[in-house]
Amino acid sequence: MKKKNVVKIMLFYTKYKYKSRKDKPKYVWLKYKEILQGRILDVGADECGLRKFLPEGTEYIGIGLGGSVDIEINLEKSKLPYRSNSFDCVLCLDVLEHLDNIHEVFDELCRVARKYLIISLPNPWASFTGMLKRGYYKHGEFPMKFYNLPTNPPNDRHKWFYGVHEAEKFLKERGKMNGMKILQVDKENTNLNFRKFLYRIFLKLIVHNDINVDSLLVGSIWAVLIKSSSSH
């Protein structure tokens, strides 16, 4: 029996593309504004750039280390200082990969979220593939952004090396352990032009069958989780 084509409907989408950290808050607002309401916690908020896009009456708290956060907190040393189910939406964007205690912090994010949790994680495998094509990061200074072994201890680094499929599995299974379920997952840079299509074929010919070629090509993974007791 021939399988029917399934059209994946995206609940959260924007045509806007961000090119830097400065542009990302606008991307987040345009993509997720439907659920960025009520009381919001932004974990790893940096300059709290999302605040300026939020409608009047929204209570926004940005926490983290550095930048212009409302409350400074070291996630590797402290739990989130909030009661369970305190926030309508919790965001944690490009933060978890920097933490040794990624599992514990993820559990904390789920705990304080009343309804929604928005997570983004980079794709280290794609960064490595990009290095093989384009050379070292920052004009030869580093073999790979956040993964090199410098002479002196770095101020910041990524502490986990994974593919997007591993990341998606982590979010799904760890989320389930915390009473959350995946509402949407999408990945950046999934559109294939002819050149990328040929490169994908080339990679499939040279890498092991255990390796999902998409993990070598696509960008960051974005996920929205919802508390199982909540309805969209």
Give pLDDT, residue 8.
58
pLDDT confidence tier of residue 225, bands split at 50, 70 and 90: very high
At residue 5, does pLDDT exceed 70?
Answer: no
Q: Three-class SS of residue 17? A: coil
Q: Tell me if 113 sits within 8 A of 227, measured CB to CB.
A: yes
Give pLDDT, residue 4.
54
Decide which of 21 and 199 is more confident. 21
Give pLDDT, residue 151.
84
pLDDT confidence tier of residue 114, bands split at 50, 70 and 90: very high
At residue 76, does pLDDT exceed 50?
Answer: yes
User: Rounded to whole angstroms, how far apart are CA atoms 204 and 226?
Assistant: 35
Residue 153 identity (one-letter amino acid): P
Average pLDDT over residues 115-135: 89
Decide which of 114 and 154 is more confident. 114
Average pLDDT over residues 61-76: 96
- pLDDT (tens digit per residue) in 77-112: 999 999 999 999 999 999 999 999 999 999 999 999
Percent of the chain beyond pLDDT 70?
93
pLDDT confidence tier of residue 113, bands split at 50, 70 and 90: very high
pLDDT confidence tier of residue 139, bands split at 50, 70 and 90: low
Give pLDDT, residue 6.
47
Average pLDDT over residues 53-69: 95
Decide which of 133 and 24 is more confident. 24
Q: Tell me if 90 sits within 8 A of 119, measured CB to CB.
A: no
Q: Tell me if 113 sits within 8 A of 85, measured CB to CB.
A: yes
Q: How many residues belong to the chain?
A: 232
Looking at domain 24-122+146-189+223-227, which CATH architecture does it have?
3-Layer(aba) Sandwich (3.40)
Average pLDDT over residues 169-195: 93
pLDDT confidence tier of residue 47, bands split at 50, 70 and 90: very high
At residue 1, does pLDDT exceed 80?
Answer: no
Q: Tell me if 205 sits within 8 A of 213, measured CB to CB.
A: no
The full set of domain ranges for the chain reads 24-122+146-189+223-227
Give pLDDT, residue 230.
64
